[in-house]
Structure 1
Amino acid sequence: MKNDILSQTWNSQKSDSVIASPDQIIKKANKQRNSQYISIAVMSVTVVILLTYAIYYVGNNWNTFTLGMILMISSLTFRIALEFLSIYKKEHQLISLDNHSFKKYLKKHYQIRLKVNYIITPVCFAIYTFGFTLLLPYFKQMFSRGFYLYIVISGVVSLVVIAVIIVNTIRKEHSFLNSLNKNNGSNKTK
């Protein structure tokens, strides 16, 4: 239903865009939305695992282990909320705006996303990492040396993989914003 309305709206307008058809816009929007949903799913599963672990081990004790769990869970929950908000706002604008206005909105949207990616995401990542390091002394006490080393190595590898994914996402969004700026500049000169 939304795709039909979007197609009719975009087909009825004169397009001065490099993106010629509504189908291309829908395909690109679906691809990015799916990527965001995958990110949300991964973060949500991680939150559920951390919550389960916290409920099982934390109890009523307040210590650095509890603080570490809270930091990890809250940083991920905050990022999940930001992603849902981003998806909602973008989909709402996609349906309600004309071609030219939507391009302006996309440019503003990706400028905000870059600020989120350059400021909020590193802060969330640092909080998550700090929370993880607060758990390590407890893991060292609770588990065998071999399992503790496994946790440390897999934790570090996971953090590196997450950092690479974040950097890759930032590059893609920065590249898309640059292409919007170039298209906008070429449209002004026509």
Structure 2
Amino acid sequence: MEFKDIQNTWQQQSGKTTIPDFTPAQQKLQKLRKEQRITQLILGVTGIILIVFFFYISAYKYSGTLLGMLLMISVVVIRVFIEIRSRQKLRKINVLLTLEDFKGQLIHYYQNRKILAFRTIPILLIVYNLGVGIMMYYFYLYLSRGFFYYVLISYLVSFVVLFYFIRKQVLNELSILKALQES
């Protein structure tokens, strides 16, 4: 075989070689990261509001309000920590791996999110609602009835809206996991 034959063979092979397009995978990961940043922002603002309210009402002076506020603040802080860890894990997913390895990393990521959605988050919601319940008792004692009912109804409406968005996010993540496992 002559050099020209080897060169022709190499050129034909190099012409057939294509680099896979990783743009869709990168775009999906960027979208997930953006959604997580929004979630972290909302949780962070909620945490700051709770901490400011904690000091505004001097909750540290009374054991009942201290317990209620600490439960609520602790849940938000734990949830922020969970989202930060989740974002770190998402950042470690390498889009330049083979399709199977990339898919395997995504499946593992979404399986961890599924565990969070069905085990950890419900427990956190229960603990948060216990804190709210404790605070509602004190609101009932020390606020006018009109303002108390305003706070109660506002909380119920915001909880329903929050629950709707959490449910929507979980269903979306479950559908992605199912699609990844079936493909």
TM range (shorter): 0.7 to 0.9
Distance 1:134 1:60, change over 3 A: closer
Say yes or no: does 1:101 pair with 2:101. Answer: yes
Under a length normalisation based on structure 1, what TM-score does the superposition of the two structures give? Answer: 0.81
Distance 1:60 1:168, change over 3 A: closer
Under a length normalisation based on structure 2, what TM-score does the superposition of the two structures give? Answer: 0.84
Equivalence for 2:5:
none
Residues 124-135 of structure 1: pairs in structure 2 closer than 5 A: 124-135=124-135
Gaps of 5+ in 1: 1-11, 16-20, 184-190
> Quick one: distance in 2 between partners of 1:72 and 1:13?
53
4+ runs deviating over 6 angstroms: none
Aligned residues: 167
Residues 129-148 of structure 1: pairs in structure 2 closer than 5 A: 129-148=129-148
Compute the RMSD of aligned alpha carbons.
Answer: 1.8
The Cα of 1:100 is off from its aligned counterpart by: 2.4
Distance 1:40 1:77, change over 3 A: same
For the 8 Å contact 1:13–1:99, the answer to whether it is kept is: no
What fraction of aligned residue pairs are identical, expressed as a percent?
A: 29
Q: Which has the larger radius of gyration?
A: 2
Equivalence for 2:120:
120
Residues 1-190 of structure 1: pairs in structure 2 closer than 5 A: 21-58=21-58, 60-94=60-94, 97-183=97-183
The Cα of 1:101 is off from its aligned counterpart by: 1.4
> Quick one: distance in 2 between partners of 1:122 and 1:54?
24
